[in-house]
Structure 1
Amino acid sequence: MIERIWSGRSLLYLLLLPLAWLYGLATWILRGCYRLGLKKSWRAPLPIVIVGNLTAGGNGKTPVVIWLVEHLQRRGIRVGVVSRGYGGKAERYPLVLDQTTTTDRAGDEPVLIYQRTGAPVAVSPARSDAVKALLAEGSLDLIITDDGLQHYALQRDFEIVVIDGVRRFGNGHWLPAGPMRERESRLHSVDAVITNGGHAQSGEIAMSLQPGLAVNLVSGEHRMASQLTDVVAMAGIGHPPRFFTTLKQQGVITVNNVAFADHQPYQLTQLQALTKDEQTLLMTEKDAVKCRAFAQNNWWYLPVDARLMEPLSNQLIESIVALCAKN
């Protein structure tokens, strides 16, 4: 239902417009307070790059963060990542991740980024505290924040907005009548716009998500996803239909597609009930990091990598590298 409302296919958004106007007013006042100095923001001693979005729901921010970290690491840049840690609840904050950190403490996306890149990662509702915790652990050249475009308590040097190229901005209204956290005009003040799927407009960096080989959670075996049989697909991400479409494009025939809420924690019995004997459970990598401790032999995940079109993607990396040279 919410997708129908936000996409403009339902007039029920009219009932929510008063709440949306209040949301827009509140965000406008909050940002104004920071711009006028009425609320304090913190300036880090090293460059801060924000990867965020203007809309609620999954747009592909985390794959972009991983792409950035890996490309900057190849250039010799020491990169750290900070996050709010949605879906996690630590005993205390800030929390610096290590090999033993679980998703119920740090959230699924920070654990995924840490496992994929090996970069230092810290989470905290106050992102400035997460930055300080990483700096206390060792020397870094740059910090990337996974989300946080609207977290104006942390000053930033470079802003990247990721757009879902298919859904873009829906009906264009603020939450909850539409998907917008900020108006589309905010794009005029950011440094780069990355469009995931669909058609990138002029000046936007076109991006696609390229799936790799399916990986067994228990054995680590790699296999073409299309070779898996009797597949039940599941996705607990911001926009599950994107994953199911990817599987179809990869030639995976599914007997059932199960969508969960973003950042939802899982239990063994809950996931075991999804498949019958001899069936295969295929999930996203973001789901897999929450299931490793109790994974079953018939559970697989499909990793995806962001692919950004050149030459704009090269210019993006060069711009961020230049920030480190100035620091």
Structure 2
Amino acid sequence: MSGLVDRLWYGRGRPLGFLAPLAWLYRAVSERRRRAAWRARNEPLPLPVVVVGNLTAGGTGKSPLTARLVKAMADRGWQPVILSRGYGGKAGHYPLLVTADTPATDAGDEPVMLARETGVPVVVDPKRRRAAEWVVARQLGDVLICDDGLQHYPLPRDIELAVFDGARGVGNGALIPVGPLREPISRLSGVDFVVVNGAAAAQPLGEGGRLTGFGDIEHPDMYPMTLTPSALIHVRSGQRRPLSDLDGQSVHAIAGIGNPARFFATLDALGANVRATPFADHHAFRASELTTEPEEWLVMTAKDAVKCRDIAPDNAWYLAVEAQLPAAALNAFLDRLAHCRSSVY
């Protein structure tokens, strides 16, 4: 499926151009919903709200960026709380406070992963305004960060970050279903920061490590981000082993994420002999899919590991990654956050 999407949306042409009337309809409906949501907004929340999202369908690295910003905020003395829709989960009630032991079937894979990686409260609710008010009432923290909420307009926000995949960019620049865009590129004029995950090393950088340009995207506060592997972790026990152990090792790599090719390329760069099996984003794995050949290891993403912990074989590992940003990007974000607190709250 990923290869088909790459050909239809991320190639040079627009093979689905005959669906342009549907793209126009999609835009009209989206803009109408956006205007209605803004008009129906309640009073602002009594604490800053940060929204991390993207303009394109599919994975761009939002959750690792969210985890990195959480760490930066905590290091500066903030008490962040993560909000999430909880895609792929179905809880018996909402809002749902997620812990490291919450089943992914209840909360969704990304919220459980973020709870494990950050140690901060994670609250899931399809209605994120309701989740935010629940957090405020219980005084769980002093700043909210919403993972994947750029188009969720009922939630007020003070800072917006839009994330792009550095290899895919905006694709063919068309709206769904002709292309991958959820909103026109002009939407970036309203976001505070643009982050490009995996921007080419040769990409020109300006003052403070900013990207001076990226494809058709221009923004005064645009920064590169890289996802750096940090460890290989046993899915069931949590045992860690060095990344160097992957060099020359045969692995069956599985990935149910938005862009599996990026994960497979990372393993290949670490020296592994990769047999790759991509799955759809948020795929619900079965034990029969977690197979290996003799001498192979099963290697997956951290996001997939939260769903496979109870069914994974003993040779299953996941690759932990950390988002790396220029220091200037983190400082600019934290300064903007401090301004929100001092000027509004």
Q: Shorter-chain TM-score: which interval?
A: over 0.9
Distance 1:312 1:10 in 2: 34
SS of 2:88's partner is coil
SS of 2:307's partner is coil
What is aligned with 1:125?
126
Q: Provide the aligned C-alpha RMSD in A.
A: 1.7
| Amino-acid identity (%) | 43
Distance 1:222 1:93 in 2: 34
Provide TM-score, normalisation by structure 1: 0.93
SS of 1:261's partner is coil
What is aligned with 2:272?
252
2:225 aligned to 207, 216, 225, which one?
Answer: 207
Mapped pair 1:230 → 2:233: no
* Structure 1 stretches of at least 4 aligned residues deviating more than 6 Å after TM superposition: none
- Taking a change above 3 Å as real, the CA distance of residues 279 and 8 of structure 1, as seen in their structure-2 partners, is closer
What are the residue-to-residue correspondences of 1:41-190 with 2, within 5 Å?
A: 41=42, 43-190=44-191
* Kept after mapping to 1: 8 A contact 2:34/2:153: yes
Per-residue displacement from partner, 1:282-311 (whole Å, max 9, x unpaired)? 111111111112222100110110000132
* Kept after mapping to 2: 8 A contact 1:42/1:128: no
Structure 2, unmatched stretches of 5+, are 204-210, 214-220
SS of 1:214's partner is strand
SS of 1:212's partner is strand
Mapped pair 1:270 → 2:289: yes
| Shift, 1:204, TM fit | 0.9
**Which amino acid in structure 2 is aligned with residue 245 of structure 1?**
A
Distance 1:119 1:197 in 2: 27
Mapped pair 1:321 → 2:324: no
* Kept after mapping to 2: 8 A contact 1:41/1:152: no
* Kept after mapping to 2: 8 A contact 1:96/1:134: no
1:2 aligned to 1, 5, 14, which one?
Answer: 5
Distance 2:156 2:236 in 1: 42
SS of 1:29's partner is helix
**Which amino acid in structure 2 is aligned with residue 264 of structure 1?**
H
* Kept after mapping to 1: 8 A contact 2:52/2:150: yes
Distance 1:50 1:97 in 2: 19
Number of residue pairs matched? 322
| Shift, 1:159, TM fit | 0.7
**Which amino acid in structure 1 is aligned with residue 250 of structure 2?**
D
